[in-house]
Structure 1
Amino acid sequence: MTGADETGRGPPGYRTIALIIAAALFMEQLDITILATALPAMARDFGTSAPNLSLALTAYMLSLAIFIPVSGVIADRFGTLNVFRVAIVVFTLGSALCSLAEGLASIVAARLLQGLGGAMMMPVGRLILLRAVDKKDMVAATAWLLVPALVGPIVGPPLGGFIVTYLDWRWIFYINVPIGLLGIVLSSLYIPNLKVAPAPGQRFDLAGMILSGIALGGLFFGAEMASREGEGRVAVGLVALGLVFGALYLRHARRHPSPILDVSLLRVETFRLSMVAGSLARITQGAHPFLLPLMFQLSFGLSAAEAGGLILATALGATAMKACAPYLLRRFGFRDCLTVNGVLSSLTYGACAFFTPDWPHGAILLVLFCSGFSMSLQFTAYNTIAYDEIGPERMSSATSFYTTFQQLMLSAGVCAAAAVLHIALALGGRDAQAPGDFSAAFLVVTGISLLATLWNRRFAPDAGSDISGHHLRDR
């Protein structure tokens, strides 16, 4: 195995690397959620219905499902910088083509291309961080990296509403072009190009790529369709398809020497616990930015701009956390931080269930700030401890595996929240959502995230001590 930087430059600071990757991920995470608010305007321009344009959303998810699992293998073979840079180019090109689209077919094709770039950016960006940053700096670097992942889905809907209201929907895609060009330049200057030689006899898992692509595509689309009224049967069929092909993939993976998604990684305790507990928490994280804009606009009667102003408090809390995470994990360790903060972050999620139009905006801002802070700390810890016991030779497989299920569980969060809203609407016999419907949805996803506590307590007391420095206090 070789891990040398082919550029010949000295190592850049971890903050520089983390911020460059974070900027690219922010562009991607923002794009995932911002488009939904523009669908009615796009439908008018294209002469079709907004539901038909949902294909633009699902096309992106299809690319993610197929190409995230192969990203690690490609990065190992061609180098992390090369793949990350090409991913930004592809994503930016896809954005430019989206802005030029004149009909349904062209926007769907452009979104497929965009998704290909996005599928490479997420796991390869994380892989760069894991390989280029020392363990002692990993918590701080991950904290910087996580801010766009948390902020993007939250600011996407209100920003999309602002653009559609005051500009043109094509600006949703125009803004990605200068960000992408800047990312290409900065990554070329500061990010190392690390390669890992394949093991002797290792071959690409084409069958696994096909099976996992169909399985993940079915699960992604099933979760997405379940959030739409009248699509229950389609959603069930897609989820069933995903589960069948998932079972076929698991059978295949047991026989293949280097499967595209390495299920054997779950034998590594810290990786498995982070996967299970983090997945439960991510269901709630996915639901949060879906529910808040709807509640503020539909139940509270706020404008998109007013709702966006309140929701930005979550982003401010997530940003404020980045300076505190290294100290808290060094002081208390991963297990105690994940356990205690996991309960606190769940309770701040749950507090949103008690919002009413009469609440002072200052109080709502405070709750959302605390929610963003604790949420960001929780996922900084999960995303760091997951790789504590992963060797360099398996790092690319681990990032692909982890990122794939991270995206799946975020989609599941939207599905769960939407399902509760639909059930509440049906039981109430109403045509419009009531404040109590949103309260029920917040409480359901809060209960799911609290279940993560059972797995958080299973981490060893000294888990991740080399990363956090927690053990140094006892010496």
Structure 2
Amino acid sequence: MTQDSPRMPMLWIVAAGFFMQTLDTTIVNTALPSMARSLDETPLALQPVVVAYTLTMAMLTPASGWLADRFGTRRVYFAAILIFVLGSLFCAGAHTLPQLVAARVVQGLGGSMLLPIGRLAILRNVSSEQYIAALAFVSVAGQVGPIFGPMLGGWLVQSVSWHWIFLINVPIGVLGLAAVLRYLPADRGLQAPPFDWLGCGLLSLCMVAFSLALDAPGGGGGAAHALWSGALFATSLLSALLYIPHARRSRAPLFRLALFREPNFSVGLAGNLVCRIGSGAVPFLLPLLLQLQLGYSPLHSGMMLLPAALAGALAKRWIVPLVNRYGYGTFLLVNTVLVGASIASFAAIAPGWPMALAAAQLALFGATNSMQFAAMNSVTLKGLSREDAGSGNSLFSMVQMLAIGLGVTIGGGLVSLFTTHAGMGGGAYRLAFLTVGLITLASAAVFRRLDMAELEKGRGGRGGRGAARTTGR
């Protein structure tokens, strides 16, 4: 895709939306201690600020394609940016934790549509010969957001106030709104089939109840909290079970049950969920450890995350040659161990720990984690038929967002548990890193159930029955 392509303005619009979405997934983490002081809360009490955003995106992502078909791509993308900007303003104006969590839900509502609708706009307006190049151009924005998010968040908190980590979205969003009206081709809505709102509601209830159930015991309320947690787990299981007869009866279910007859898809989803819990916990726990236990400034803690993001961006090019040489089975086994071990190694970071060694640990985590995402994405989606590729990718995206939220919930809950019941202080973070590292290692056992013979038919993501491929987050 050349710079003078007539579609370049549209690609810049989509890239800007992707940048805002990924930026706000990471920029908040380094600001949590400052936000907690401002709102008169403990830093760990702010984990719903992170979870609300990712969980909202997980719940609403499947509806984005239907909305674009029903109301038109340009109209829905404009609405997505507008809602995201309004949510950012509400976040900046929040004076209490409940207000901030509610504002993050609004922000997640807009963010859930930015990337899927952007991809759809590219698909409908870019020729097939230029489609891969266009997606590659846009994906750079998804890499830049996590690289600069923690550092930018730390700088804004230290130089101005935490409110500006949300206000920075406003000028970008306003320019995006104007650009959508000017450059995004107008289109009319299509005769879209009815959306499966009931199925979406059941799966959303399953995810929300499960996330809240994991968080409930952290309140330290004894039997009452245990009872509440059990009720939420039961609600989550019941809603998942109710989806099965619903999907069998529905003419157009949100996700066809036939998806799960592809064994590598089911195993890949489970492995992704377990593995990404550790990866989701690290960006939340590490800034808290650096600032609250080691006395780092917000900017310093944000800069400490830079090696992980840079190594992750550079390592993406290694995945195909490594898989082609060693195969998915060997690669996933070895790389999963490296990811889990690198997460567990953060338990050693303490006062006096060499900064160069900490940077090397973070770089190892970033590189192996990036390659892990790419490999997991491929083994999960590559065997799907063309008929199931779209819905399978949507369900996979839901699981990705859910796992990030679960990582934050479990990581924060472990620190609270070890602090409250063991009185450990800084040691609580070390035990939390060890635990989530072990959870990540456990996913290696899940990946051993993959059908390797099927995977090796199209090594490196070149083959497979389906057209679904992802570059990987």
Name the TM-score, length of structure 1 as normaliser: 0.77
Q: How many residues align?
A: 454
Q: Secondary structure at the match of 1:260?
A: coil
Q: How does 1:226-375 map to 2 (within 5 A)?
A: 230=221, 232-233=225-226, 234-329=228-323, 334=328, 336-375=330-369
Q: In structure 2, how many angstroms separate the alpha carbons of the residues matched to 1:198 and 1:339? A: 46
Q: In structure 2, how many angstroms separate the alpha carbons of the residues matched to 1:198 and 1:459? A: 41
Partner residue, 2:90: 97
Partner residue, 2:113: 120
Q: In structure 1, how many angstroms separate the alpha carbons of the residues matched to 2:187 and 2:258? A: 24
Q: In structure 2, how many angstroms separate the alpha carbons of the residues matched to 1:13 and 1:460? A: 41
Structure 1 residue identity aligned to 2:300:
E
Aligned partners of 2:57 and 2:111 also within 8 Å: yes
Aligned partners of 1:330 and 1:469 also within 8 Å: no
Aligned partners of 2:84 and 2:106 also within 8 Å: yes
Instruction: Find 1:217's aligned residue among 192, 201, 208.
Output: 208
For residues 410-438 of structure 1, what are the alpha-carbon distances to aligned partners after superposition, in whole Å with 9 as ceiling and x for unaligned? 22222333343344345634466456424
| Distance change in 2, residues 1:237/1:418 (3 Å) | farther
Aligned partners of 2:285 and 2:429 also within 8 Å: no
Structure 2 residue identity aligned to 1:370:
L
Pairwise CA distance, 1:395: 4.3
Partner residue, 1:4: none
For residues 110-153 of structure 1, what are the alpha-carbon distances to aligned partners after superposition, in whole Å with 9 as ceiling and x for unaligned? 4332221122225445666788677976996797465357557x
Partner residue, 1:473: none
Pairwise CA distance, 1:365: 0.5
Q: In structure 2, how many angstroms separate the alpha carbons of the residues matched to 1:369 and 1:193? A: 44
Partner residue, 1:70: 63
Task: Give the RMSD, CA atoms, in angstroms.
Answer: 4.2
Instruction: Find 1:175's aligned residue among 153, 165, 168.
Output: 168
Aligned partners of 1:219 and 1:408 also within 8 Å: no
Aligned partners of 2:92 and 2:163 also within 8 Å: yes
Aligned partners of 1:222 and 1:239 also within 8 Å: yes
| Distance change in 2, residues 1:130/1:28 (3 Å) | farther
Is the deviation greater in 174-183 or in 19-28?
19-28
Q: How does 1:3-82 map to 2 (within 5 A)?
A: 19-20=15-16, 22-30=18-26, 33=29, 36-43=32-39, 60=53, 63-64=56-57, 66-80=59-73, 82=75
Q: Secondary structure at the match of 1:27?
A: helix
Pairwise CA distance, 1:183: 4.3
Tell me if 1:166 matches 2:159: yes
Partner residue, 1:203: 194
For residues 40-59 of structure 1, what are the alpha-carbon distances to aligned partners after superposition, in whole Å with 9 as ceiling and x for unaligned? 34426xxx998998776665
Structure 1 residue identity aligned to 2:382:
D
Aligned partners of 2:336 and 2:440 also within 8 Å: no
Q: Secondary structure at the match of 1:397?
A: helix
Tell me if 1:416 matches 2:414: no
Is the deviation greater in 253-262 or in 309-318?
253-262
| Distance change in 2, residues 1:212/1:39 (3 Å) | same
Q: Secondary structure at the match of 1:95?
A: helix
Q: In structure 1, how many angstroms separate the alpha carbons of the residues matched to 2:411 and 2:200? A: 30
Aligned partners of 2:267 and 2:447 also within 8 Å: no
Q: In structure 1, how many angstroms separate the alpha carbons of the residues matched to 2:260 and 2:106? A: 31
Partner residue, 2:435: 441
Pairwise CA distance, 1:376: 0.9
Q: In structure 2, how many angstroms separate the alpha carbons of the residues matched to 1:435 and 1:102? A: 28
Aligned partners of 1:270 and 1:463 also within 8 Å: no
Pairwise CA distance, 1:258: 1.4
For residues 263-302 of structure 1, what are the alpha-carbon distances to aligned partners after superposition, in whole Å with 9 as ceiling and x for unaligned? 4322234433432222221111112212322333344343
Q: In structure 1, how many angstroms separate the alpha carbons of the residues matched to 2:33 and 2:42? A: 14
Q: In structure 2, how many angstroms separate the alpha carbons of the residues matched to 1:246 and 1:365? A: 42
Pairwise CA distance, 1:311: 1.9
Pairwise CA distance, 1:459: 6.3
Task: Give ranges in structure 1 of 5+ residues lacking alignment.
Answer: 1-8, 471-475
Partner residue, 1:380: 374
| Distance change in 2, residues 1:36/1:267 (3 Å) | farther
| Distance change in 2, residues 1:280/1:384 (3 Å) | same
Structure 2 residue identity aligned to 1:64:
M
| Distance change in 2, residues 1:223/1:246 (3 Å) | same
Pairwise CA distance, 1:91: 0.6
Structure 1 residue identity aligned to 2:171:
P
Pairwise CA distance, 1:252: 1.6
Name the TM-score, length of structure 2 as normaliser: 0.77
Pairwise CA distance, 1:375: 0.8
Q: In structure 2, how many angstroms separate the alpha carbons of the residues matched to 1:120 and 1:227? A: 32
Structure 1 residue identity aligned to 2:298:
A
Q: In structure 1, how many angstroms separate the alpha carbons of the residues matched to 2:328 and 2:175? A: 35
Structure 1 residue identity aligned to 2:211:
F
Q: Secondary structure at the match of 1:451?
A: helix
Structure 1 residue identity aligned to 2:22:
F
Structure 2 residue identity aligned to 1:415:
T
Partner residue, 2:76: 83
Pairwise CA distance, 1:399: 3.1
Q: In structure 2, how many angstroms separate the alpha carbons of the residues matched to 1:378 and 1:129? A: 27
Instruction: Find 1:147's aligned residue among 128, 143, 149.
Output: 143
| Distance change in 2, residues 1:297/1:450 (3 Å) | farther
